Structure 1
């Protein structure tokens, strides 16, 4: 038990560090390959910050722990809005770009509803997984097409990472960080999955609850770090783009990849408890962001407090229920 707890702590620490190195290497490589800023900000950073969820859920599915896989994906979505955006808004209110509301947030609502339809029968088959992955590929292709069709506008509206071109490491170092980050992401994800599943078995807690709490919060920490950094630079579109983009990748890519590795049985509590919370927070974000009749649209500290309180209440509900069931 003690060794498993140490494995979770070490796994999370290495996961966070290696995720930052992986993003640094990916962004640097993309800059040297002269990819448009919009592609770097939306796709490269989006995939990089979701890499922990991809690897943890993929390994969990491969090792026969489907509850941990889907719990990590849906729990990370809840943490991204409730915890990450909640804390970020408490630090600083932020303006909301009209484009993010119209396109990305609307798309996230559609994707969330589609995921309910696919998991409604209590399982994610490989066909269901493919139906999740294909729209993500289509979205990435659309972003690439838009950037290629209108590169000037794409660059102007791009949510760019922290590094400016002058701060980007040399091409060789970028490739090294990309490789080292990926290897350590794999190793730390494996360690984290082992530790989390061992603790769950020892406490009599389901893999799903561990995935929704400890693992989901841990794999969402890269999003918190990048969001706080973006707020310091007043790059508010990057914050919302980071949260919304990560949730798109989690709902479509993370669950889809895990389902392609092995079909997943979905616990009834996911449909009755976790998915409705995920949808509710997503709808609440859309309502707050639209600010009906008020311009310019913005998110304030009160709304951040609502998100954070909702996350605390949900997590307390999970922990209380888990220990009540274990006693």
Structure 2
């Protein structure tokens, strides 16, 4: 009975996080467009960061309620899942190739953020308030870089984003109400998910870190999954790739940055080094496809999925 209750809490939290993220992103896009923000910037920041809002809510709730392992595990697990599972599944549906120059420039930055988190945890065994502040400053610089570089993108890619996010924005009080509702749903869903995840870990004798890397990461990554699959079906590869790369950057700089600023996160390096290595390895694995413009075909998508299955099996065995 207790197991069923914990599973219901996790499922309920995931549902609230998913719909909270959807409502938040939908209304944030309308507001951003009404303020005259470039459609490509909207797609790469508002949408990519908005789809990571469940991760932000879950990690913040976990850290505040004394489960730092879930907070970090959620971010690291989501980044691994975004590349190996979501892009693998996306490529199976529709082979993808990066056309946009900005994506090729973003990938080294994504790898750099992974190395930055590696340094925080390896050298200091924590992500403290100073590290959190530094991460948020870097995020601000990254957004400024995107804003400036988006104007020089090739017309075909610009058209892709214009088609997806360029509809005339008709703003009303409902958009602000939707934004507030999305935040409420995210907060409530994060608390329920954290309660269920912690109880499930204790019930099975599994570490909170493993639960964060698997159950919580999968639940909070549903918006990225939905966005990328829809983009693949519509033959919009740069939106799918931009969403994943942008989300991975935001997960480390924005989510852990803000979480650490509110509540410093302590975690022994030995407990997370394997997963950090997998996250960095997955990022490096993606790099050749995006930088060279090579196609991420169905075969490579199947390999990505197999690697994610092997990693999950490895986690549960350990």
1:229 matched to 2:230: yes
Residues 169 and 115 of structure 1: CA distance in aligned 2, closer, same or farther (over 3 Å): same
| Mapping 1:100-249, distance limit 5 Å | 100-121=102-123, 122-146=125-149, 156=158, 159=161, 162-166=164-168, 170-249=171-250
Shift of 1:176: 2.4
Decide whether the 8 Å contact of 1:87 with 1:308 is kept in 2: yes
Partner of 2:316, secondary structure, is: helix
Partner of 2:52, secondary structure, is: helix
**Unmatched segments (≥5 aa) in structure 1:** 322-327
Give, in whole Å, the separation in 2 of the partners of 1:249 and 1:82. 18
Provide the TM-score with structure 1 as the length reference.
0.89
In the other structure, the counterpart of 2:80 is 78
Alignment partner for residue 63 of structure 2, among 61, 80, 95?
61
| Mapping 1:235-274, distance limit 5 Å | 235-274=236-275
Alignment partner for residue 316 of structure 2, among 306, 316, 319?
319
Provide the TM-score with structure 2 as the length reference.
0.92
Aligned length: 315
Partner of 2:36, secondary structure, is: coil
**Unmatched segments (≥5 aa) in structure 2:** none
1:305 matched to 2:307: no
Shift of 1:153: 6.9
Shift of 1:5: 1.6
Decide whether the 8 Å contact of 1:37 with 1:155 is kept in 2: no
Give, in whole Å, the separation in 2 of the partners of 1:136 and 1:271. 23
Decide whether the 8 Å contact of 1:23 with 1:48 is kept in 2: yes
Decide whether the 8 Å contact of 2:104 with 2:290 is kept in 1: no
In the other structure, the counterpart of 2:24 is 22
Give, in whole Å, the separation in 1 of the partners of 2:276 and 2:140. 23
Give, in whole Å, the separation in 1 of the partners of 2:156 and 2:289. 26
Partner of 1:95, secondary structure, is: coil
Give, in whole Å, the separation in 1 of the partners of 2:10 and 2:172. 33
Which segment is superposed worse, 116-125 or 7-16?
Answer: 116-125
Partner of 1:302, secondary structure, is: helix
Residues 191 and 17 of structure 1: CA distance in aligned 2, closer, same or farther (over 3 Å): same
Decide whether the 8 Å contact of 2:121 with 2:269 is kept in 1: no
Decide whether the 8 Å contact of 2:77 with 2:213 is kept in 1: yes
- Listed one character per residue, the Cα deviations across residues 138-182 of structure 1 (whole Å, up to 9, x for unaligned) are 1112223445x769979926745845515x565333222212111
Shift of 1:119: 1.3
Shift of 1:315: 0.7
Partner of 1:165, secondary structure, is: coil
Give, in whole Å, the separation in 1 of the partners of 2:272 and 2:209. 12
Partner of 1:299, secondary structure, is: coil
